[in-house]
Amino acid sequence: MTYSTMRDFLSALETKGLLRRIEKPVDPTWEPAALAKWMYQALPAEKRFGMLFEKVLGSDIPIATAALGANTATYAAALGVEPEGINAAWARACLNPIAPKEVKNAPCQEVVISGKDVRLSYLPIPVWTPGKDKGPYITTITATRDLDTGKQNMGVYRTLVRDEKTVVSNLQPGRHGYANTLTWTGKGRPAPIAWVIAAPPAVHLAAVARLPYGAEEIAIAGALMGAPVPMVKCKTVDLCVPAEAEIIVEGEVHPGETDMEGPFGEFAGYMGPIDRRPVVRITAITQRKNPIYYGLTSQMPPSESTTIQSLTNAGILLKTLRHDLGEIAVSDAFIDLTYGGLLAHAIVAMKPAYPGHAKKVGRLVAAASSVKRVTVVDEDVDIRDSSHVDWAMNSRYNPARDTILVDDVYYRTKAGQVCIDPSVAHNTMGSKVICDATLKVDAGTFSLPPKAIMMKALDAWKQAGLPEFEIPKRARLRIDAS
């Protein structure tokens, strides 16, 4: 099942043992972020959990983080599927979007604070790289609308709290939120904008999907949830927001108003430099009576940000390959969870239909996604098991013959501007690599006993009193073919 509220999702995670409450009072200027950093830096993925900080100094509102993207298990729970069903859920949702429905009364508007009463400091907005970030940052869904088409966009753009009534948002060229605000400010009008804090989980996951401009993330979220997402009109700006969210921050981008934004700890593992970005005047904060604050943990990978973006974008990539580009020979796609899809490593499983097919698919992946490395393997490889992928690389990939370099594909900005990829020198272009690790010759059979013997040995293992195990997919694939 999927969850129509963040609070229901958090309770369900707790029941499954995937969420921890932290009862000790925490200081939002450093503790929630630093504790989340330890979780991601120290614990293996399967031991991570969502975090709910119940007592926050200076605020009555608890903070949740890492619940959507502690690991693949919490992400799958947010979609209401098993981990193996994540990619299929995305394909279904992209192919069958469900438009949202408008409602008049919304939990997210039980309390309305507007005009001179607006005071951002009552919200427990964390500092995410304590000691390095310029200040507290809102790290949640940003909703904007195209003035001409009326279509709404949702993305996550880090947003610096400048003072009680203004923020500076990282609305940057190339992103849909920025494009939408330009449709208003370009005509001399203030652009409506809103931050949606602790929306239904699927809405958060859809917001980080790389979709074509004009495709509405909220309709994909509806499809992921299997029902239209209830939306309500904002109180002070011309936008609709998820009615079941915990908190909404409404505002306006006024033409020409900018300020310096950053530094902020970037998802790629380095501090991002400072740049000029639009200022937003906050016009209202609306909320449930006893709201929960949600902030996505980003900065040094692996993080919640990289986990949710990689899993979401792998689903979108697979759908693009199979449905939009007709590559039905491709059966699965995975993006490593460290870089959130952008500049990451995509691994694709397929059954090549002709010589060169895997290379062709590799080129399509490089062109259709923002990853930096592409590895194509056969279907008998578990693409989520790096030791299995390494084995395929070692045994089926001949570097001189099976490598394609794609040069000049992305631009590394001038010194002092936002730098995402430190491997590329300033003012030059980045490149991509495609590795075809599919088998090109008949390699004979695997060096494992036949399946019948291996299965019989499972009984012998038990009789010998050896410790129980679950058969890993890697072993199953190999034994089935032995």
Site residues for ligand FMN per CB under 6 A:
139, 153, 155-158, 170, 172, 175-177, 208-210, 296, 298, 305, 309
Q: How far apart are CA 11 and CA 436, in angstroms?
A: 44
Secondary structure of residue 314 in the 3-state scheme: helix
- 231 bridge partner residues: 102, 242
Q: Is omega for the bond preceding 302 within 30 degrees of 0, making it cis?
A: yes
For residue 455, the minimal CB distance to ligand FMN (Å) is 44
The residue sitting closest to ligand FMN, measured at its beta carbon, is 155
Closest CB to ligand FMN among residues 172, 482: 172
Structure tokens at 15: 């029941």
Closest CB to ligand FMN among residues 154, 392: 154
Among the listed residues 28, 289, 229, the one whose alpha carbon sits nearest the alpha carbon of residue 138: 28
Task: Count the neighbouring beta carbons within 10 Å of the beta carbon of residue 339.
Answer: 26
Secondary structure of residue 168 in the 3-state scheme: strand
Cβ(132)–Cβ(263) below 8 Å = yes
Closest CB to ligand FMN among residues 74, 305: 305
For residue 33, the minimal CB distance to ligand FMN (Å) is 12
Q: How far apart are CA 40 and CA 35, in angstroms?
A: 9
For residue 155, the minimal CB distance to ligand FMN (Å) is 3
For residue 278, the minimal CB distance to ligand FMN (Å) is 12
Closest CB to ligand FMN among residues 304, 327: 304
Cβ(480)–Cβ(452) below 8 Å = no
Closest CB to ligand FMN among residues 108, 268: 268
Closest CB to ligand FMN among residues 100, 177: 177
For residue 303, the minimal CB distance to ligand FMN (Å) is 8
Closest CB to ligand FMN among residues 28, 155: 155
Closest CB to ligand FMN among residues 52, 68: 68
CA distances for 219 relative to 21, 176, 283, 425, angstroms: 32, 16, 26, 40
For residue 301, the minimal CB distance to ligand FMN (Å) is 11
For residue 125, the minimal CB distance to ligand FMN (Å) is 13
Query: Backbone phi, then psi, for 217, in 5-degree steps?
Result: -55, -30
- 277 bridge partner residues: 259
CA distances for 439 relative to 354, 358, 376, 444, angstroms: 12, 10, 10, 11
The residue type at 360 = K
Is 201 exposed, middle or buried, given 0-12, 13-18 or 19+ CB atoms closer than 10 A?
A: buried
Secondary structure of residue 399 in the 3-state scheme: helix
Closest CB to ligand FMN among residues 220, 358: 220
For residue 133, the minimal CB distance to ligand FMN (Å) is 13
For residue 305, the minimal CB distance to ligand FMN (Å) is 4
